[in-house]
Amino acid sequence: MKLMTGEEYIESIRRMRIEVYMMGKKIDNPVDDPILRPSLNSVRMTYDLAQKAEYEDLMTACDPDTGEKINRFNHIHRSTEDLVKKVKMQRLLGQKTASCFQRCVGMDAFNAIYSTAYETDKKYGTRYFENFKTFLRYVQENDLVVDGAMTDPKGDRSLSPHEQADPDLYLRVVERRPDGIVVRGAKAHQTGILNSHEVCIMPTVAMGPEDKDYAVSFAVPVDTKGIFLIIGRQSCDTRKLEGGTIDVGNAEFGGVEALVVFEDVFVPNERIFLNGETEFAGMLVERFAGYHRQSYGGCKVGVGDVLIGAAAVAAEYNGCAKASHIKDKLIEMTHLNETLYSCGIACSCEGNKTESGNYIINLLLANVCKQNVTRFPYEIVRLAEDIAGGILVTAPSEKDLRDPVLGKVVEKYLKGVASVSTEDRLRILRLIENLALGSAAVGYRTESMHGAGSPQAQRIMIARQGNMAAKKELAKTLAGIKDRKNS
């Protein structure tokens, strides 16, 4: 199997005919659109690093079924070592892009579907596991990007899928044919689907028998007839149209989200991984969520490394790097960031083998990891903003700096330490702004809250996995309390 180069990946996306809309207009060439291109560059990094010998151990894996080298994003975890390397790979990519590199959802979907399809087949005698393995082999052989799609619009959260006033608010099967199914609905907040070759659909909640049409999992090419994307807005996104590099903060890399609509999309039988077996919908949701919550102990930590570094540089440029309170804030940022990483590593090391043979993380620790991610990045951002100073949000534009008259004024009055140019000071401040408030906040701060489920979703899983009964028995034993029901 030949791994694609970054440039080959770019051209493979260019050849696709994905239907894309942004700001009320159809985008005929998303690959070269200045707002969208940075997100493509982020995915490209997953290909570029896989070509480098120094990153081969993290970025690639050996598929045990073929003995071939594949991109780790298309790998089925076969050991706790694989789970650990996944987190380390994600931290590396966060460091290299300071943004969302978009392939984690597909990797996490692969591993959740792999074990769930196996157990569904075991009960019902279906062929979902073979279907999925055939699809996965195709993805590996062609070194493709696959987007994992779980989140439905949901409509009225108090109602189950089949109870919604509009039945399309959860993606559903509207027709079953001898050769496949037809689906209708939408998936929201879809990270990276614009830059993906395929999309892998999963249900979004546990379901009852009445929700049979909504318990569906499958994969189709992103440019399949009936699929179209509406790109989500990001703060400061139109700065990318201004032609400069300073005000963007991170000119090369970025993320992208979309609302993905399925208008009567046909799915052939061989691409179906779940079709009405409602009792396995919850299993798939729980496993995917666990894998994806593990992911945040890597990717957000890598971006956090960049933000901490930027705050330290800003302190130097402001002339206050030696102040004890600045040093203490940087220590606290590092402490919080490494705590997140520790959780990602811990849930990986404590993983276990599923019936299908792949490895799943420790679900309790994965949810603890993500619960911390809903909190710590906000404090890291707060401290970065504190260190940077108010100039972070009041600095003039790059056009003012470049103006032949105004530029001299900006250069004079926004100077920090004498040895650092005003331009460099503004560049580091804009990078912090990008990570804390701008378009990258989708891939760091705000996504830390809502990505892979809301904080309450993790708390529910922590309560479910925490084994309170066993803890109570430990306490009773040490306290000398005996069960007196039968005495």
* Active-site annotation holder among 118, 170, 200, 299: 299
How large is the average pLDDT for residues 145-152?
98
pLDDT digits (tens, 9 = 90+) for 461-487: 999 999 999 999 999 999 999 987 654
Q: What is the pLDDT of residue 486?
A: 56
Q: Are 30 and 130 in a shared domain? A: yes
Range 147-156 average pLDDT: 98
Set 47, 75, 100, 126: catalytic member = 100
Element (H, E) at 340: helix 324-349
* β-strand partners of 388: none
Domain boundary among 280, 304, 322: 280
Tell me, yes or no, if 191 is annotated catalytic: yes
**Per-residue model confidence (pLDDT) at position 446:** 86
Q: Check if 299 is active-site.
A: yes
Catalytic residue selected from 77, 189, 197, 292: 292
Q: Are 302 and 266 within one domain?
A: no
Say how far apart CA 402 and CA 408 lie, in whole Å: 9
Q: DSSP code of 5?
A: P
SS3 15: coil
Distance CA 230, CA 349 (A): 39
Q: What is the mean pLDDT of residues 221-249?
A: 96
One domain for residues 153 and 62: yes
**Residue 296 is a catalytic residue:** yes
Q: How many structural domains compose the chain?
A: 2
pLDDT at 457 over 90: yes
Which candidate in 60, 97, 191, 354 is catalytic?
191
pTM for the model: 0.97
The model's confidence at residue 260, banded by pLDDT at 50, 70 and 90, is: very high
Average pLDDT of span 184-209 = 97
Q: What is the pLDDT of residue 440?
A: 81
Domain of 377 in residue numbering reads as 283-468
Percent of residues, the chain, with pLDDT higher than 90: 96
- Return the ∠ at Cα 350 (arms to 344 and 352), rounded to 5°: 120
Task: Give Cβ neighbours of residue 100 (< 8 Å, ≥ 6 apart).
Answer: 39, 42, 191, 192, 254, 255, 299, 442, 443, 447
Scanning the structure block, which residue is given the tokens 């529910």? 460
Residue 443 has pLDDT above 90, yes or no: no
Q: Which helix (H) or strand (E) holds 381?
A: helix 376-388
- 377 pLDDT higher than 80: yes
Residue 1 has pLDDT above 80, yes or no: no
Active site residue 369: no
> What pLDDT, in 10s, does the model give residues 48-63?
999 999 999 999 999 9
Pick 441 or 27 by higher pLDDT.
27
Asked whether residue 390 falls in the same domain as residue 407, the answer is yes
**Tell me: the pLDDT tens digits for 280-296?**
999 999 999 999 999 99
Q: Give yes or no for residue 138 having a pLDDT over 70.
A: yes
Average of per-residue pLDDT values in the chain: 97
Identify the active-site residue in 286, 385, 433, 447: 447
Our answer to whether residue 62 is catalytic in this structure is no
Q: Active site includes 320?
A: no
Q: In terms of domains, do 316 and 408 share one?
A: yes
pLDDT at residue number 441: 78
Active site residue 257: yes
Residue 271 shares a structural domain with residue 355: no
235, 254, 280 - which closes a domain: 280
Averaged pLDDT for residues 170-180: 98
pLDDT mean over 116-123: 98
Q: What is the pLDDT of residues 154-163, one digit of tens each?
A: 999 999 999 9
Residue 114 has pLDDT above 60, yes or no: yes
Q: With respect to residue 251, please indicate whether it lies within any of the assigned structural domains.
A: yes
Q: Is residue 475 part of a domain?
A: no
Q: Which pLDDT band holds residue 438 (cuts at 50, 70, 90)?
A: confident
275 and 384 together in one domain: no
Give 307-342 pLDDT, tens digit per residue: 999 999 999 999 999 999 999 999 999 999 999 999
Q: Do 264 and 292 lie in a common domain?
A: no
| Catalytic residue flag (residue 104) | yes
Asked, for residue 198, whether it belongs to a domain, the answer is yes
- Average pLDDT in the 8-13 region? 98
CATH code for position 129: 2.40.110.10
150 plus 204 within the same structural domain: yes
Among residues 296, 317, 341, 444, the one annotated as catalytic is 296
CATH number at residue 421: 1.20.140.10
Catalytic residue (one of 257, 277, 385, 433):
257
> What pLDDT shows up at residue 420?
98
